[in-house]
Structure formats: structure tokens, C-alpha cells
Structure 1
Amino acid sequence: MASSSGQATPRPILPAVANAAAVPPPATTMEPKMDAGLRALAYSGSFQDLESLLNGKAAAYTIGSSATQPPALYAVTVGGDTLLHVVAAINGDSEDSTNKASLVYDKAPSILFVQNCHGDTPLHSAARAGNMRMVSLLIDLANGQGINNAKGLLETQNKIHETALHEAVRSGNNDMVKLFMEENPQLARFPEQGTSPLYLAVLLENKIIAKTLYDLSGGLLSYSGPDGRNALHVAVQGSQGSNFNIGESCKNDI
């Protein structure tokens, strides 16, 4: 940036960070930044207002907004979220939220596969919000682009090597876990190293989800955990203070 004197202003020296990996990556500079009012409208406004705005019509869109024309559909937040990430993160299985997602997708289909600064896709966001209807819609939209595209979306790992299935396991939503596994029975194999969905289910002492993962994968799934540990380590450790039994949950085949 140039100063009023025409000379370049030197960049400030940032303090040293002990663990650089813990610092969130910078937002992408490839796309324009999302207007704050658009983000608020997408998250908490009505479908009709969002539709009006995206179609270039007047909408109830004033608070925090600086837009004077239809917004760029590929704009992102400072965290790299697209408009579809924002809509997918809405809590609750409302028809209004899925209508918003369909609207955004119809205008910009490619953002279904965009990863934000943390590597999350809109599917990660929907699963994290516990939005079953949204998860189902996003999978259907991906299937509409071809089996390989749907498979790729489901198997996309974020920067901590987790798929959207991990979020479903973490939320304790067995119906959502079933949806993911019925769509792709190989999904519980990811990642090959790191925290697997089964490890996470055992860690959370969720027998039902552990059994669902095992049954719907046909027993072909990853047991991997962090730091060289696996689901068996957690099950043995947990069994000393609880009733969790991974052998019972997974038919004694582990």
C-alpha cells in the first residue's frame, strides 16, 4: 500500500508464533470478499429476500450492506466460506434453508465443491449444523453432477483430515451417519491415518454409531486414531470406567 507521500508503506513485522500449524490459514485472495449484509441475509433472512437480491431486485437488505448491485456469487467470507457454506450452516431442517441452497446452487453449481480456509466443503458445514435435510440435498445435488462427483464430495477431507461423516459422528446423529454410509459404504475407511470415524465413535462411547459404521461398511473400515492409537486402545481404556464394549458393538469381529 502506498502512503500519501507516494512511498510504499512497509508491512508490519508479525510476532513469532510457537506453533504455526495452529494459526488459521489466511482467507483466499482469489475471490472478492462477501458483503456483510449478504451473509446476514443468507443466514437469517427469508428465501424470498435472498432470491430478490440474487436476481438483482430490491430486497430487505440494508443492515451492514454496501451493495448497490447483485452480489458476486463467488464472493467469500474472511474464513473462505462461500454463500453455499453460509446457507448450509443454518441450524434446523427447514424448507426455507434448503430452498436457499438450491437457489445458490442453481446460479453457481461449482461452489458445491469449494473448500474454505479450513478445508471444509458446504457438506461439512451442513453436517456440523446437524441439518439432515441440507445434507441430503447437497448429496443429491452432487449425484446430479455424476457418481464420481458425489463420491469425491463425500470423501473430501479438510485440513485435519476429516470428512463430513466425522461431523455426523461427532453430533451423535445416527440417521445422518446412515445416510452417508448408505451413499458410500467405503467412507468409514477415511482417513487411512489419523482420526477415523470409528475411533471417534468409540471415543464418544456411542455404541449405536460404532455399530452402524461397522455394519454398513461390511467390516471394512479404518480403526485409526491420532498418535499411533486406534479404536481398540480407546475401547480398552474406556471399558475400565464404563460399559462401552467395542467387541459387543461390532459383533466381536474386531
Structure 2
Amino acid sequence: MIYAKEFTIGQSSQRDKKSKDYFEWSIWIENGELDVSEIDYVEYLLHRTFKNRLRKVTDVSTGFKLNSKGWGEFRIEISIIKKNRETIQMAHWLVLRDSYRSAEGENDIPKVNPKKIYISHADVDTRTAQRLEFILTDLGMEVISANDLESEGSLQENIVSSINASDAIITINSGTENEWQNAEINIAKELSKTIIPMDSIIDSDINKADSNISSRLNLDESYGKTLKALGNQINKLKF
């Protein structure tokens, strides 16, 4: 997740009394090195399944608190706009537990330096690639694969351009030989890009990560554990 020394993120959650599968939750801003009185407003970008997912809060008396409810954990993107028009970007992993209250520091999802990752995979591994993209996105990475390439220009030109713009390439190999994937790996080698086999950084079944909103609730923390483990592994790599 992404935090900043200027301000601290606070968050709480409570199981909804009307529905055991739902949680009421709140997120707000607390003083850090700066006082919240220096903030003009705060924007919270929620998961894409929310209607009106961009929420603007202007009430400084509550610490710019946003109240909502839902059934899954996800990454919240936060834009703090100060009165001097300076913008501070932060991000927080929403934790859903009964009677939960925390501030920054208790959220144990590791901070990962944002990188641009190219995912190389065969058609048979498309589902796995999508799950990996969800997890990497939750960690704050920018992800691209051949499926995202623009139609203009030749496919090979677009692949070369995309790999060249990436910081590293993660390869998914289920044992099926694929001419295009071999070509992508060779291009990455020629461009001196870091090549990371997926199996070397994640050992869980990521196909259980149904989307980049955790559907596990508090009874099954496998998604959060997968996120934490992958973040720690990525932080060990040099690229």
C-alpha cells in the first residue's frame, strides 16, 4: 500500500447486523507531520463494482471520513488535495473484520514500489494471467499483456514496444510450448529486461483469486495472504 508522512490513514469496520456477509466500514485521514486543517478535500476511488466509485469528502471535522458498506476487501486509492492545491496520493487496503479499528501500520500488506510489468503467457494460461494481473494491480503495479496491445501497427512491433516500456516481464508456463511466448521471452532478453517466472514468486493457486476484490470475507483470508506473500517476494527482487 502507499502511505505518506504528511498524513495518516485510519479505518474501521463492523459486521452489518442485518446481513452477516456485509460489513459497514469507514476510512478517514488523521494528522501526520501536517494537520488535517491544511486539507481542502479528499477523494476516495473505490472498487469498480461501486456505483459512483469516486467519492469526494469535504468535511474536515470528521477527518474527511467516508462511510460505506460492502462484502469484500479491496485497495482504495486516495487523493488528498491541500488548500495550497498540492496533491498527495495514498492507497490503503480495506480490512473487513468485526469490531475492527486501525490506523496506518496495522495494515500488513507490504508497500511495493510501483513498476510496469509485462505478463507473458500462452492462451491456455489466460485465466491465470488475469488473476495475476488482479493481484499485481492491488499491489500498485501497472500491468500489460499481449491482450492489451493496440491494434495499430504489427503485433510484433507492439510487443517489442510494450516490453521495452516495462520494468520486468513475468512469465507463466504451464508446460505448453507457445511460439509467441518464446518470442516475447527472447525479446525481453535482447532488451536486457528482468525475466521472472511466476512460480518463483508465488506458490499459491492464484486462480482462486476470483477478482481484485476479495470475495473471501474474514472467514477465508487466502487472498490477503497471497497479496502479502507476493508483495514480499517482489520486494526481494532487483529490477
Normalising by structure 1, we get a TM-score of 0.26
Structure of greater relative contact order (alpha carbons < 8 Å, 6+ residues apart): 2
| Higher relative strand content | 2
| Higher relative helix content | 1
Query: Over alpha carbons, which structure has the higher Rg?
Result: 1
Normalising by structure 2, we get a TM-score of 0.27
